[in-house]
Amino acid sequence: MTIKLVGFPISTATLRVIICLKELAVPYELDPPPSFQSIKDDDYIANKHPFGRIPVLFDDDFRITESRAICRYLTSKYQGKYNNTILIPNDVHKAGLVEQYISYESFYYDPPVSTIVFEEVFAKKYVGNEPNAEAIKQSREDLSKVLDVYEKLLEGKEYLTGEFSLVDIFHCPGTNLACGTVTHADLWDKRPNVKNWWNRLCNREAIKKSFEEIES
């Protein structure tokens, strides 16, 4: 078995898969493209991702794209094979709650976080644009409302569904950059339940090692 992950660790989507792989203790090889520009080449689009994006995962001769789909695939195939970590419970109700919170992450949490990360981290360094202050301001306001809801959802719980799951992983890459690399930690710090949840995630060994991929 050979798993190859095509992507850059600084990419939040790629890092999402890296965390999943490490949590499941699945061995893999990271294969960064030659450059960010190369993922728009005809060969890449034909043989890796039809929209010229990252990440792409190859499991022997099987190819799958899109980080959340990749993580679901990895969990479905490898959960319980290398360790005892459970990311999607077998219980249908618990699994349903994981999917519910994944929807919250995808549609409410991720959009403002991704805008902040793009403007603060990627716009100047990789695109050559100055950060859009108005977009950042609006995203902070939107994220603040989302985190108010999360503060209530996390009341009395260590993780979003009560137990560590795939949905917690999905929140990690963007939050790491928005809360750590960028000076927006106040949004998490002033909400005790949210702050404790995030600190708990940061202290997981697999997640700590995954964040180190950005610095290597």
pLDDT for 135 equals 95
Peptide bond before residue 33 is cis, with ω within 30 degrees of 0: no
**pLDDT in the model for residue 193:** 98
Phi first, then psi, for residue 10 (nearest 5°) are -70, -20
What is the per-residue pLDDT across 14-56, written as a single tens digit (0 to 9) for each?
Answer: 999 999 999 999 999 999 999 889 999 999 999 999 999 999 9
| DSSP track, 18-74 | HHHHHHTT---EEE--S-TGGGGSHHHHHHT-TTS-S-EEEETTEEEESHHHHHHHH
CA 53 to chain centre: 15
Q: How far is CA 140 from CA 148, 176, 188, 193, in A?
A: 12, 15, 11, 19
Tell me how far apart the alpha carbons of residues 182 and 209 are, in angstroms, rounded to a whole number.
20
Residue 182 pLDDT > 90, yes or no? no
Of the pLDDT bands very low, low, confident and very high (cuts 50, 70, 90), residue 212 is: confident
Residue 179 — pLDDT band, cuts 50, 70, 90?
confident
Question: Does position 1 have pLDDT exceeding 70, yes or no?
Answer: no
Q: Which residues contact 99 (CB under 8 A, 6 or more apart)?
A: none
**Are residues 113 and 175 in contact, defined by beta-carbon separation less than 8 angstroms?**
yes
**CA distance readout (Å), 128 to 111, 114, 179:** 22, 18, 23
Task: Determine the 3-state secondary structure of 75 from DSSP.
Answer: helix
- Which pLDDT does position 22 carry in this prediction? 98
| Residue 216 banded pLDDT, cuts 50, 70, 90 | low
Give CA–CA dist 178/188, Å, rounded. Answer: 10
Beta strand 56-59 with 62-65 is antiparallel
Whether residue 125 is predicted with pLDDT greater than 80 in this model: the reply is no
**32 or 128, greater pLDDT:** 32
- pLDDT at residue 180, rounded to an integer: 77
pLDDT of 8-21, one tens digit each?
Answer: 999 999 999 999 99
pLDDT tens, residue by residue, 57-102: 999 999 999 999 999 999 999 999 999 999 999 999 999 999 999 9
Closest by CA to 169, choosing from 89, 107, 88, is 88
Show me where the domains of the chain are located. 3-78, 92-209
**104-118, pLDDT tens digit by residue?**
999 999 999 999 999
Into which CATH architecture does domain 3-78 fall?
A: 3-Layer(aba) Sandwich (3.40)
Mean pLDDT across the stretch 169-179? 95
Longest dimension (CA), the chain: 51
Residue 181 has pLDDT above 70, yes or no: no
The architecture in CATH of the region 92-209 reads Up-down Bundle (1.20)
